[in-house]
Amino acid sequence: MGTKKIRITGAQLSFSVGAIQENKSKILNTLEQAEKINSDIVVFPELCITGYPPEDLLLRESFVGKNFAVLEEIAEFSGRTSGIIGFVDRSLEEQTTDNVDRKITNAAAIVQNGDVKGIYHKCYLPNYSVFDEARYFAKGTKPEEIFWYEDVGVGINVCEDIWIDEGPAEEQVKRGASLIININASPFDIDKTKSRKEKVIHKAKKLNVPIIYLNMVGGQDELVFDGGSFVVDSDGNIIHEASQFVEEVFSFDIDLEIKDINTENKLIINEKNSDIPSIESTKPLEELESMYSALKLGLSDYVRKNKFKKVLVGISGGIDSALTATIAVDSLSSENVIGVAMPSRFNPESSLKDAEALAKNLNIELKTINIEETAEKFRELIGSNIDESLESVVKENIQARIRGNILMALSNQLGAMVVSTGNKSEMAVGYSTLYGDLVGGFALLKDVYKTEVYKLSNYRNSISKVIPKNIISKKPSAELSEDQYDSDTLPEYDLLDKILKMYIELDYSSEKIIKSGIEKDVVFDILEKIDRNEYKRKQVAPGVKLTSRAFGKDRRMPITNTYIRDRY
Protein backbone atom coordinates (compact mmCIF):
# COMPACT_ATOMS: atom_id res chain seq x y z
CA MET A 1 0.00 0.00 0.00
CA GLY A 2 1.06 3.59 -0.61
CA THR A 3 0.96 6.60 1.67
CA LYS A 4 -0.84 9.92 1.75
CA LYS A 5 0.31 13.18 3.34
CA ILE A 6 -1.92 14.46 6.13
CA ARG A 7 -1.44 17.91 7.69
CA ILE A 8 -2.25 18.02 11.39
CA THR A 9 -2.47 20.92 13.85
CA GLY A 10 -2.19 20.30 17.57
CA ALA A 11 -3.99 22.86 19.75
CA GLN A 12 -2.38 22.57 23.19
CA LEU A 13 -4.48 25.28 24.81
CA SER A 14 -5.98 26.23 28.17
CA PHE A 15 -9.74 25.74 28.53
CA SER A 16 -11.37 26.99 31.72
CA VAL A 17 -14.08 24.98 33.46
CA GLY A 18 -17.47 26.53 32.78
CA ALA A 19 -16.15 29.20 30.36
CA ILE A 20 -18.03 27.64 27.46
CA GLN A 21 -18.26 30.78 25.31
CA GLU A 22 -14.62 31.67 25.89
CA ASN A 23 -13.61 28.12 25.05
CA LYS A 24 -15.70 28.25 21.88
CA SER A 25 -13.87 31.39 20.76
CA LYS A 26 -10.50 29.69 21.22
CA ILE A 27 -11.62 26.69 19.21
CA LEU A 28 -13.05 28.81 16.36
CA ASN A 29 -9.96 31.02 16.18
CA THR A 30 -7.70 27.97 15.99
CA LEU A 31 -9.85 26.34 13.29
CA GLU A 32 -9.73 29.55 11.27
CA GLN A 33 -5.94 29.77 11.47
CA ALA A 34 -5.53 26.08 10.59
CA GLU A 35 -7.79 26.53 7.54
CA LYS A 36 -5.36 29.13 6.20
CA ILE A 37 -2.55 26.58 6.01
CA ASN A 38 -4.81 23.82 4.62
CA SER A 39 -4.55 21.69 7.71
CA ASP A 40 -6.61 18.52 7.47
CA ILE A 41 -7.14 17.91 11.18
CA VAL A 42 -6.99 20.18 14.23
CA VAL A 43 -6.73 18.25 17.50
CA PHE A 44 -8.13 19.84 20.68
CA PRO A 45 -7.93 18.49 24.27
CA GLU A 46 -10.40 16.33 26.16
CA LEU A 47 -13.61 18.17 27.19
CA CYS A 48 -12.26 21.41 25.73
CA ILE A 49 -15.76 22.88 25.40
CA THR A 50 -16.61 22.48 29.10
CA GLY A 51 -13.13 22.55 30.60
CA TYR A 52 -11.82 19.72 32.78
CA PRO A 53 -12.89 18.49 35.27
CA PRO A 54 -16.42 19.98 35.25
CA GLU A 55 -17.40 17.78 38.20
CA ASP A 56 -20.99 18.34 39.44
CA LEU A 57 -21.66 20.96 36.76
CA LEU A 58 -22.34 17.83 34.70
CA LEU A 59 -25.44 17.23 36.80
CA ARG A 60 -26.97 20.46 35.53
CA GLU A 61 -29.04 19.97 32.42
CA SER A 62 -28.52 23.58 31.39
CA PHE A 63 -24.74 23.17 31.46
CA VAL A 64 -24.80 20.04 29.33
CA GLY A 65 -27.31 21.68 26.98
CA LYS A 66 -25.12 24.75 26.49
CA ASN A 67 -22.21 22.45 25.68
CA PHE A 68 -24.34 20.88 22.93
CA ALA A 69 -25.38 24.23 21.52
CA VAL A 70 -21.77 25.38 21.34
CA LEU A 71 -20.68 22.18 19.58
CA GLU A 72 -23.36 22.85 16.96
CA GLU A 73 -22.09 26.41 16.51
CA ILE A 74 -18.54 25.14 16.08
CA ALA A 75 -19.71 22.54 13.57
CA GLU A 76 -21.61 25.16 11.56
CA PHE A 77 -18.46 27.30 11.43
CA SER A 78 -16.21 24.45 10.30
CA GLY A 79 -14.89 24.24 6.74
CA ARG A 80 -12.63 21.80 4.92
CA THR A 81 -10.35 21.59 7.94
CA SER A 82 -11.82 19.13 10.40
CA GLY A 83 -11.65 19.57 14.16
CA ILE A 84 -11.51 16.89 16.85
CA ILE A 85 -13.41 18.49 19.75
CA GLY A 86 -13.72 17.18 23.30
CA PHE A 87 -17.30 17.61 24.62
CA VAL A 88 -20.07 15.97 26.66
CA ASP A 89 -22.38 13.78 24.58
CA ARG A 90 -25.63 12.00 25.30
CA SER A 91 -25.61 8.27 25.89
CA LEU A 92 -28.52 6.16 24.77
CA GLU A 93 -27.04 2.85 25.88
CA GLU A 94 -27.35 1.21 29.28
CA GLN A 95 -23.81 1.03 30.61
CA THR A 96 -23.87 1.10 34.37
CA THR A 97 -22.58 -0.96 37.30
CA ASP A 98 -24.93 0.48 39.93
CA ASN A 99 -28.44 1.89 40.21
CA VAL A 100 -27.60 5.33 38.77
CA ASP A 101 -28.69 5.93 35.19
CA ARG A 102 -25.89 7.93 33.58
CA LYS A 103 -26.99 9.49 30.30
CA ILE A 104 -23.88 11.42 29.27
CA THR A 105 -20.46 10.41 27.98
CA ASN A 106 -17.00 11.92 27.73
CA ALA A 107 -16.71 12.26 23.97
CA ALA A 108 -14.77 13.52 20.97
CA ALA A 109 -16.62 14.96 17.98
CA ILE A 110 -15.28 15.37 14.46
CA VAL A 111 -16.59 18.49 12.75
CA GLN A 112 -16.11 19.40 9.08
CA ASN A 113 -17.92 21.37 6.41
CA GLY A 114 -20.67 22.63 8.69
CA ASP A 115 -21.61 19.39 10.36
CA VAL A 116 -20.68 16.84 13.03
CA LYS A 117 -19.25 13.95 11.01
CA GLY A 118 -18.54 11.47 13.77
CA ILE A 119 -18.38 10.94 17.54
CA TYR A 120 -16.25 8.70 19.72
CA HIS A 121 -17.22 7.91 23.33
CA LYS A 122 -14.48 7.36 25.93
CA CYS A 123 -14.49 3.69 26.89
CA TYR A 124 -12.30 3.58 30.00
CA LEU A 125 -13.26 5.94 32.79
CA PRO A 126 -10.57 6.63 35.43
CA ASN A 127 -11.87 6.37 38.95
CA TYR A 128 -8.72 6.70 41.07
CA SER A 129 -6.46 9.44 42.45
CA VAL A 130 -8.10 12.79 41.53
CA PHE A 131 -10.41 11.20 38.95
CA ASP A 132 -14.04 10.22 39.47
CA GLU A 133 -15.41 10.00 35.93
CA ALA A 134 -17.49 6.93 36.69
CA ARG A 135 -19.56 9.22 38.95
CA TYR A 136 -20.80 11.10 35.89
CA PHE A 137 -20.27 9.27 32.63
CA ALA A 138 -21.47 6.13 30.93
CA LYS A 139 -18.82 4.03 29.21
CA GLY A 140 -18.39 4.09 25.47
CA THR A 141 -19.24 0.79 23.80
CA LYS A 142 -17.40 1.09 20.47
CA PRO A 143 -13.67 1.05 21.18
CA GLU A 144 -12.99 -0.21 17.67
CA GLU A 145 -14.57 2.75 15.87
CA ILE A 146 -12.34 4.55 13.35
CA PHE A 147 -12.87 7.47 11.00
CA TRP A 148 -11.81 7.60 7.35
CA TYR A 149 -10.11 10.58 5.76
CA GLU A 150 -10.52 9.36 2.19
CA ASP A 151 -8.55 6.09 2.33
CA VAL A 152 -6.61 6.84 5.54
CA GLY A 153 -8.05 5.38 8.74
CA VAL A 154 -7.74 7.45 11.92
CA GLY A 155 -8.44 6.08 15.38
CA ILE A 156 -9.52 8.62 17.98
CA ASN A 157 -9.61 7.87 21.69
CA VAL A 158 -9.63 9.81 24.95
CA CYS A 159 -7.00 9.98 27.70
CA GLU A 160 -7.31 6.79 29.81
CA ASP A 161 -8.08 4.76 26.69
CA ILE A 162 -4.43 4.89 25.59
CA TRP A 163 -3.20 3.46 28.91
CA ILE A 164 -5.16 0.23 28.52
CA ASP A 165 -3.37 -2.85 27.19
CA GLU A 166 -5.40 -4.42 24.40
CA GLY A 167 -7.66 -1.37 24.55
CA PRO A 168 -9.21 0.98 21.97
CA ALA A 169 -5.93 1.72 20.14
CA GLU A 170 -5.38 -1.97 19.47
CA GLU A 171 -8.97 -2.40 18.32
CA GLN A 172 -8.74 0.61 16.02
CA VAL A 173 -5.52 -0.56 14.37
CA LYS A 174 -7.09 -3.97 13.76
CA ARG A 175 -9.91 -2.18 11.92
CA GLY A 176 -7.44 -0.35 9.68
CA ALA A 177 -6.31 2.79 11.51
CA SER A 178 -3.01 4.19 10.24
CA LEU A 179 -2.88 6.87 12.95
CA ILE A 180 -4.01 7.05 16.58
CA ILE A 181 -5.01 10.41 18.06
CA ASN A 182 -5.38 10.51 21.84
CA ILE A 183 -6.86 13.68 23.38
CA ASN A 184 -6.16 14.42 27.02
CA ALA A 185 -6.76 16.48 30.12
CA SER A 186 -3.94 14.84 32.04
CA PRO A 187 -2.85 16.68 35.20
CA PHE A 188 0.80 17.06 36.10
CA ASP A 189 2.75 15.20 38.71
CA ILE A 190 6.51 14.87 38.89
CA ASP A 191 6.51 11.23 37.72
CA LYS A 192 3.91 11.39 34.96
CA THR A 193 5.85 13.10 32.14
CA LYS A 194 8.20 10.14 31.82
CA SER A 195 5.52 7.45 32.22
CA ARG A 196 3.28 9.00 29.54
CA LYS A 197 6.05 8.87 26.96
CA GLU A 198 7.11 5.37 27.88
CA LYS A 199 3.55 4.09 27.51
CA VAL A 200 2.85 5.81 24.20
CA ILE A 201 6.25 4.92 22.70
CA HIS A 202 5.73 1.28 23.61
CA LYS A 203 2.24 1.28 22.09
CA ALA A 204 3.36 2.98 18.85
CA LYS A 205 6.12 0.39 18.36
CA LYS A 206 3.80 -2.47 19.21
CA LEU A 207 1.07 -1.31 16.81
CA ASN A 208 3.47 0.07 14.17
CA VAL A 209 1.47 3.28 13.78
CA PRO A 210 2.15 6.92 14.73
CA ILE A 211 0.39 8.27 17.83
CA ILE A 212 -0.49 11.88 18.64
CA TYR A 213 -0.79 12.61 22.37
CA LEU A 214 -2.49 16.01 22.76
CA ASN A 215 -2.78 17.40 26.27
CA MET A 216 -4.50 20.40 27.86
CA VAL A 217 -2.58 23.15 29.64
CA GLY A 218 -3.56 25.43 32.54
CA GLY A 219 -4.51 25.43 36.22
CA GLN A 220 -7.86 24.27 37.63
CA ASP A 221 -8.19 24.39 41.43
CA GLU A 222 -5.49 22.00 42.71
CA LEU A 223 -4.77 20.49 39.29
CA VAL A 224 -2.28 21.81 36.77
CA PHE A 225 -2.38 20.52 33.20
CA ASP A 226 1.15 20.73 31.89
CA GLY A 227 0.71 20.34 28.14
CA GLY A 228 3.83 18.57 26.96
CA SER A 229 1.97 17.13 23.97
CA PHE A 230 4.03 14.92 21.68
CA VAL A 231 3.96 12.96 18.43
CA VAL A 232 5.52 9.51 18.12
CA ASP A 233 6.21 7.79 14.80
CA SER A 234 5.57 4.11 14.10
CA ASP A 235 9.09 3.20 15.24
CA GLY A 236 8.56 4.86 18.63
CA ASN A 237 10.63 7.96 17.89
CA ILE A 238 9.35 11.27 19.24
CA ILE A 239 9.12 13.51 16.18
CA HIS A 240 7.71 16.54 18.00
CA GLU A 241 7.46 17.56 21.63
CA ALA A 242 5.49 20.66 22.63
CA SER A 243 6.34 22.99 25.49
CA GLN A 244 5.24 22.37 29.06
CA PHE A 245 3.03 24.75 31.05
CA VAL A 246 2.39 27.13 28.14
CA GLU A 247 -0.10 27.19 25.29
CA GLU A 248 1.24 26.06 21.93
CA VAL A 249 -0.31 25.46 18.53
CA PHE A 250 1.88 23.38 16.23
CA SER A 251 1.39 21.98 12.73
CA PHE A 252 3.19 19.23 10.85
CA ASP A 253 2.82 16.93 7.86
CA ILE A 254 2.88 13.17 8.25
CA ASP A 255 2.73 10.40 5.63
CA LEU A 256 0.16 7.76 6.55
CA GLU A 257 -0.52 4.38 5.03
CA ILE A 258 -3.61 4.18 2.85
CA LYS A 259 -5.94 1.18 3.05
CA ASP A 260 -8.17 -0.49 0.49
CA ILE A 261 -11.40 -0.19 2.48
CA ASN A 262 -14.80 0.85 1.18
CA THR A 263 -16.85 3.18 3.36
CA GLU A 264 -19.38 5.88 2.61
CA ASN A 265 -18.56 7.98 5.67
CA LYS A 266 -15.43 9.66 4.37
CA LEU A 267 -13.93 12.93 5.51
CA ILE A 268 -12.05 15.05 3.00
CA ILE A 269 -8.36 15.86 2.81
CA ASN A 270 -7.19 19.29 1.67
CA GLU A 271 -4.94 19.99 -1.27
CA LYS A 272 -1.55 21.26 -0.10
CA ASN A 273 -0.50 24.27 -2.18
CA SER A 274 2.60 24.97 -0.14
CA ASP A 275 4.80 23.49 2.53
CA ILE A 276 4.64 24.64 6.13
CA PRO A 277 7.67 25.59 8.22
CA SER A 278 9.28 22.75 10.14
CA ILE A 279 8.63 22.75 13.86
CA GLU A 280 11.20 22.51 16.62
CA SER A 281 10.67 20.36 19.66
CA THR A 282 11.02 21.75 23.16
CA LYS A 283 13.42 20.06 25.54
CA PRO A 284 11.60 18.55 28.55
CA LEU A 285 12.02 20.45 31.79
CA GLU A 286 14.15 19.12 34.62
CA GLU A 287 12.30 18.09 37.80
CA LEU A 288 12.79 21.29 39.84
CA GLU A 289 12.08 23.48 36.83
CA SER A 290 8.86 21.61 36.11
CA MET A 291 7.77 21.80 39.76
CA TYR A 292 8.45 25.52 39.87
CA SER A 293 6.59 26.04 36.58
CA ALA A 294 3.61 24.05 37.86
CA LEU A 295 3.46 26.17 41.03
CA LYS A 296 3.58 29.39 39.01
CA LEU A 297 0.87 28.31 36.57
CA GLY A 298 -1.33 26.86 39.31
CA LEU A 299 -1.23 30.09 41.32
CA SER A 300 -1.64 32.50 38.40
CA ASP A 301 -4.63 30.63 36.94
CA TYR A 302 -6.30 30.23 40.34
CA VAL A 303 -5.97 33.95 41.05
CA ARG A 304 -7.04 35.04 37.57
CA LYS A 305 -9.94 32.62 37.14
CA ASN A 306 -11.33 33.50 40.58
CA LYS A 307 -11.31 37.22 39.68
CA PHE A 308 -8.55 38.38 42.02
CA LYS A 309 -5.83 40.76 40.90
CA LYS A 310 -3.56 40.93 43.94
CA VAL A 311 -2.40 38.51 46.62
CA LEU A 312 -1.20 38.88 50.22
CA VAL A 313 1.64 36.83 51.67
CA GLY A 314 2.62 36.83 55.34
CA ILE A 315 6.41 37.16 55.26
CA SER A 316 8.16 35.97 58.41
CA GLY A 317 11.76 35.98 57.27
CA GLY A 318 11.58 32.17 56.96
CA ILE A 319 12.12 30.07 53.87
CA ASP A 320 8.50 28.95 53.27
CA SER A 321 7.13 32.48 53.07
CA ALA A 322 10.15 33.59 51.04
CA LEU A 323 9.56 30.90 48.40
CA THR A 324 5.81 31.59 48.37
CA ALA A 325 6.33 35.32 47.83
CA THR A 326 8.92 34.69 45.12
CA ILE A 327 6.65 32.33 43.16
CA ALA A 328 3.81 34.84 43.55
CA VAL A 329 5.94 37.61 42.03
CA ASP A 330 7.15 35.36 39.22
CA SER A 331 3.59 34.39 38.32
CA LEU A 332 1.65 37.59 39.04
CA SER A 333 4.34 40.36 38.88
CA SER A 334 5.58 42.45 41.80
CA GLU A 335 2.86 45.12 41.68
CA ASN A 336 0.24 42.44 42.43
CA VAL A 337 1.94 40.98 45.52
CA ILE A 338 1.76 42.56 48.98
CA GLY A 339 3.94 41.24 51.79
CA VAL A 340 2.93 41.54 55.44
CA ALA A 341 5.47 41.18 58.25
CA MET A 342 3.93 40.71 61.70
CA PRO A 343 6.70 40.43 64.30
CA SER A 344 6.26 39.69 68.00
CA ARG A 345 8.85 39.70 70.79
CA PHE A 346 9.84 36.16 69.82
CA ASN A 347 10.95 37.20 66.35
CA PRO A 348 14.59 38.31 66.30
CA GLU A 349 15.40 41.55 64.53
CA SER A 350 17.33 39.54 61.95
CA SER A 351 14.11 37.88 60.76
CA LEU A 352 12.48 41.25 60.06
CA LYS A 353 15.62 42.36 58.23
CA ASP A 354 15.49 39.18 56.15
CA ALA A 355 11.83 39.90 55.30
CA GLU A 356 12.72 43.48 54.32
CA ALA A 357 15.62 42.29 52.16
CA LEU A 358 13.38 39.79 50.40
CA ALA A 359 10.71 42.43 49.75
CA LYS A 360 13.36 44.75 48.33
CA ASN A 361 14.74 42.05 46.04
CA LEU A 362 11.24 41.22 44.82
CA ASN A 363 10.27 44.89 44.54
CA ILE A 364 7.05 44.36 46.49
CA GLU A 365 5.28 46.47 49.09
CA LEU A 366 5.92 45.25 52.65
CA LYS A 367 3.52 46.23 55.42
CA THR A 368 4.99 45.80 58.93
CA ILE A 369 2.49 45.35 61.76
CA ASN A 370 3.85 44.58 65.24
CA ILE A 371 1.50 42.15 67.01
CA GLU A 372 3.13 41.94 70.48
CA GLU A 373 0.77 44.33 72.24
CA THR A 374 -2.27 42.65 70.71
CA ALA A 375 -0.96 39.19 71.58
CA GLU A 376 -0.40 40.19 75.20
CA LYS A 377 -3.96 41.52 75.45
CA PHE A 378 -5.27 38.23 74.09
CA ARG A 379 -3.21 36.27 76.61
CA GLU A 380 -4.55 38.44 79.44
CA LEU A 381 -8.12 38.14 78.15
CA ILE A 382 -8.02 34.35 77.97
CA GLY A 383 -6.07 34.05 81.22
CA SER A 384 -8.59 36.16 83.15
CA ASN A 385 -11.36 33.73 82.28
CA ILE A 386 -9.76 30.50 83.43
CA ASP A 387 -8.38 29.31 86.77
CA GLU A 388 -5.06 28.01 85.50
CA SER A 389 -1.98 29.14 83.63
CA LEU A 390 -2.10 29.19 79.86
CA GLU A 391 -0.45 26.24 78.15
CA SER A 392 2.54 27.15 75.99
CA VAL A 393 0.74 25.96 72.84
CA VAL A 394 -2.10 28.40 73.61
CA LYS A 395 0.33 31.29 73.90
CA GLU A 396 2.03 30.27 70.66
CA ASN A 397 -1.15 29.81 68.66
CA ILE A 398 -2.59 33.15 69.82
CA GLN A 399 0.19 34.81 67.83
CA ALA A 400 -0.45 32.70 64.72
CA ARG A 401 -4.20 33.40 64.85
CA ILE A 402 -3.69 37.14 65.29
CA ARG A 403 -1.57 37.05 62.15
CA GLY A 404 -4.30 35.10 60.37
CA ASN A 405 -6.88 37.69 61.44
CA ILE A 406 -4.73 40.54 60.19
CA LEU A 407 -4.16 38.89 56.82
CA MET A 408 -7.88 38.18 56.35
CA ALA A 409 -8.85 41.71 57.39
CA LEU A 410 -6.41 43.13 54.85
CA SER A 411 -7.80 40.69 52.29
CA ASN A 412 -11.32 42.03 52.88
CA GLN A 413 -10.16 45.62 52.75
CA LEU A 414 -7.86 45.37 49.71
CA GLY A 415 -9.68 42.68 47.74
CA ALA A 416 -6.46 40.66 47.65
CA MET A 417 -6.39 36.89 48.16
CA VAL A 418 -4.24 35.47 50.96
CA VAL A 419 -1.74 32.84 49.86
CA SER A 420 -0.81 30.63 52.81
CA THR A 421 2.78 29.52 53.21
CA GLY A 422 2.69 26.10 54.91
CA ASN A 423 4.43 23.12 53.28
CA LYS A 424 3.46 19.44 53.00
CA SER A 425 5.80 18.29 55.78
CA GLU A 426 4.24 20.67 58.30
CA MET A 427 0.69 19.87 57.23
CA ALA A 428 1.40 16.14 57.40
CA VAL A 429 2.33 16.19 61.09
CA GLY A 430 0.11 19.09 62.19
CA TYR A 431 3.00 21.51 62.75
CA SER A 432 0.71 24.38 61.78
CA THR A 433 -2.12 26.40 63.30
CA LEU A 434 -5.74 26.27 62.18
CA TYR A 435 -7.04 29.79 61.51
CA GLY A 436 -3.45 30.98 61.88
CA ASP A 437 -0.71 30.22 59.35
CA LEU A 438 -3.14 27.90 57.50
CA VAL A 439 -5.57 30.71 56.57
CA GLY A 440 -5.82 31.71 52.95
CA GLY A 441 -7.53 31.13 49.65
CA PHE A 442 -4.72 29.06 48.16
CA ALA A 443 -2.10 26.89 49.86
CA LEU A 444 0.67 27.13 47.29
CA LEU A 445 3.19 24.77 48.92
CA LYS A 446 0.60 22.22 50.07
CA ASP A 447 2.26 19.42 48.08
CA VAL A 448 5.89 20.55 48.55
CA TYR A 449 7.95 18.79 51.21
CA LYS A 450 10.25 20.94 53.37
CA THR A 451 13.38 19.48 51.79
CA GLU A 452 11.96 20.43 48.38
CA VAL A 453 11.28 23.97 49.63
CA TYR A 454 15.04 24.35 50.04
CA LYS A 455 15.75 22.78 46.65
CA LEU A 456 13.23 25.04 44.90
CA SER A 457 14.61 28.11 46.66
CA ASN A 458 18.15 27.28 45.54
CA TYR A 459 16.86 26.55 42.03
CA ARG A 460 15.19 29.96 41.88
CA ASN A 461 18.31 31.67 43.17
CA SER A 462 20.30 30.00 40.38
CA ILE A 463 18.29 32.14 37.95
CA SER A 464 18.68 35.38 39.95
CA LYS A 465 19.48 35.75 43.62
CA VAL A 466 16.25 37.04 45.16
CA ILE A 467 15.96 34.94 48.33
CA PRO A 468 18.53 36.22 50.87
CA LYS A 469 21.21 33.69 51.74
CA ASN A 470 20.47 33.97 55.46
CA ILE A 471 16.86 32.84 54.92
CA ILE A 472 18.09 29.63 53.29
CA SER A 473 20.90 28.93 55.75
CA LYS A 474 19.18 29.70 59.06
CA LYS A 475 17.86 26.92 61.28
CA PRO A 476 14.08 26.53 60.68
CA SER A 477 11.87 27.90 63.44
CA ALA A 478 8.25 28.90 63.95
CA GLU A 479 9.51 31.71 66.25
CA LEU A 480 6.49 31.47 68.54
CA SER A 481 8.48 31.10 71.79
CA GLU A 482 12.01 31.68 73.08
CA ASP A 483 14.74 29.72 71.31
CA GLN A 484 12.20 27.55 69.49
CA TYR A 485 13.34 25.38 66.58
CA ASP A 486 11.46 22.87 64.43
CA SER A 487 13.95 20.17 65.48
CA ASP A 488 12.71 20.49 69.09
CA THR A 489 9.49 18.78 68.04
CA LEU A 490 10.31 17.01 64.78
CA PRO A 491 13.11 14.87 63.36
CA GLU A 492 15.46 16.58 60.93
CA TYR A 493 13.53 17.25 57.71
CA ASP A 494 15.61 14.84 55.61
CA LEU A 495 14.48 12.00 57.85
CA LEU A 496 10.93 13.31 58.32
CA ASP A 497 10.34 13.65 54.59
CA LYS A 498 11.69 10.17 53.96
CA ILE A 499 9.09 8.76 56.37
CA LEU A 500 6.32 10.93 54.94
CA LYS A 501 6.96 9.86 51.35
CA MET A 502 6.95 6.19 52.27
CA TYR A 503 3.72 6.47 54.27
CA ILE A 504 1.75 8.99 52.22
CA GLU A 505 2.78 8.24 48.64
CA LEU A 506 3.81 4.58 48.80
CA ASP A 507 1.36 3.41 51.50
CA TYR A 508 4.12 1.61 53.35
CA SER A 509 3.19 -0.03 56.64
CA SER A 510 4.96 0.96 59.85
CA GLU A 511 6.81 -2.38 59.72
CA LYS A 512 8.12 -1.74 56.23
CA ILE A 513 9.25 1.80 57.11
CA ILE A 514 11.06 0.52 60.21
CA LYS A 515 12.74 -2.20 58.14
CA SER A 516 14.20 0.54 55.93
CA GLY A 517 16.46 1.37 58.88
CA ILE A 518 14.56 4.08 60.78
CA GLU A 519 14.18 3.90 64.55
CA LYS A 520 10.76 2.46 65.38
CA ASP A 521 9.83 5.03 68.05
CA VAL A 522 10.43 7.83 65.54
CA VAL A 523 8.31 6.04 62.93
CA PHE A 524 5.38 5.40 65.27
CA ASP A 525 5.48 8.98 66.57
CA ILE A 526 5.38 10.47 63.06
CA LEU A 527 2.67 8.14 61.76
CA GLU A 528 0.47 8.94 64.74
CA LYS A 529 0.96 12.65 64.11
CA ILE A 530 -0.07 12.20 60.47
CA ASP A 531 -3.21 10.24 61.37
CA ARG A 532 -4.19 12.57 64.21
CA ASN A 533 -4.05 15.73 62.10
CA GLU A 534 -6.38 14.75 59.28
CA TYR A 535 -8.96 17.20 60.67
CA LYS A 536 -6.56 20.08 60.11
CA ARG A 537 -5.72 19.12 56.55
CA LYS A 538 -9.39 18.88 55.62
CA GLN A 539 -9.70 22.60 56.39
CA VAL A 540 -6.70 23.72 54.33
CA ALA A 541 -7.24 25.65 51.08
CA PRO A 542 -6.54 23.93 47.75
CA GLY A 543 -2.96 23.90 46.51
CA VAL A 544 -1.05 22.69 43.46
CA LYS A 545 -0.79 18.90 43.09
CA LEU A 546 2.83 17.92 42.37
CA THR A 547 3.18 14.37 43.66
CA SER A 548 1.37 11.11 43.06
CA ARG A 549 -0.52 11.49 46.39
CA ALA A 550 -1.36 15.08 47.23
CA PHE A 551 -3.43 16.05 50.27
CA GLY A 552 -6.99 16.96 49.31
CA LYS A 553 -9.15 15.14 46.78
CA ASP A 554 -6.19 12.93 45.85
CA ARG A 555 -5.48 11.33 49.26
CA ARG A 556 -8.88 10.71 50.85
CA MET A 557 -8.65 9.61 54.47
CA PRO A 558 -11.47 9.71 57.04
CA ILE A 559 -11.22 12.37 59.75
CA THR A 560 -12.92 10.15 62.34
CA ASN A 561 -10.70 7.09 62.29
CA THR A 562 -10.62 4.70 65.27
CA TYR A 563 -8.21 2.23 63.69
CA ILE A 564 -5.38 1.61 66.19
CA ARG A 565 -1.88 0.86 64.98
CA ASP A 566 -0.16 -1.78 67.12
CA ARG A 567 3.22 -0.78 68.50
CA TYR A 568 5.77 -3.46 69.13
Q: Which residues are catalytic?
A: 46, 122, 159
Give the span between the Cα atoms of 551 and 542, in whole angstroms.
9
Give the span between the Cα atoms of 562 and 221, in whole angstroms.
31
Give the span between the Cα atoms of 431 and 425, in whole angstroms.
8
Of 111, 109, 105, 110, the residue nearest 124 (C-alpha): 105
Cβ pair 439, 412 in contact under 8 A: no
Distance from CA of residue 110 to its chain's centroid? Answer: 28
Cβ pair 444, 327 in contact under 8 A: yes
Give the span between the Cα atoms of 79 and 75, in whole angstroms.
9
Burial code (b: 16+ CB inside 10 Å, e: under 16) for 216-248 equals bbbbbbbbbbbbbbbbbbbebebebbbbbbeeb
Question: Three-state SS for 480?
Answer: coil
Give the span between the Cα atoms of 355 and 300, in whole angstroms.
23
Give the span between the Cα atoms of 352 and 357, in whole angstroms.
9
User: Which are the contacts of 522, defined by CB distance < 8 A and separation ≥ 6?
Assistant: 491, 495, 499
Would you call 112 exposed, middle or buried from its count of C-beta atoms within 10 A (0-12, 13-18, 19+)? Answer: buried
- Interhelix angle 450-463/319-332, rounded to 10 degrees, is 50
In 215-277, the DSSP E strands lie at: 217-220, 223-226, 230-232, 238-241, 248-257, 266-267
User: Which are the contacts of 97, defined by CB distance < 8 A and separation ≥ 6?
Assistant: 134
CA end-to-end span of the chain: 69
- DSSP category for residue 509: -
Cβ pair 459, 451 in contact under 8 A: no
| C-alpha count within 13 angstroms, C-beta hemisphere, residue 143 | 18
> What Cα–Cα distance (Å) separates residue 205 from each residue in 147, 181, 195, 236, 404?
22, 15, 16, 5, 55
How are beta strands 230-232 and 211-214 bridged, if at all?
antiparallel
Give the span between the Cα atoms of 462 and 368, in whole angstroms.
29
Give the span between the Cα atoms of 298 and 221, in whole angstroms.
8
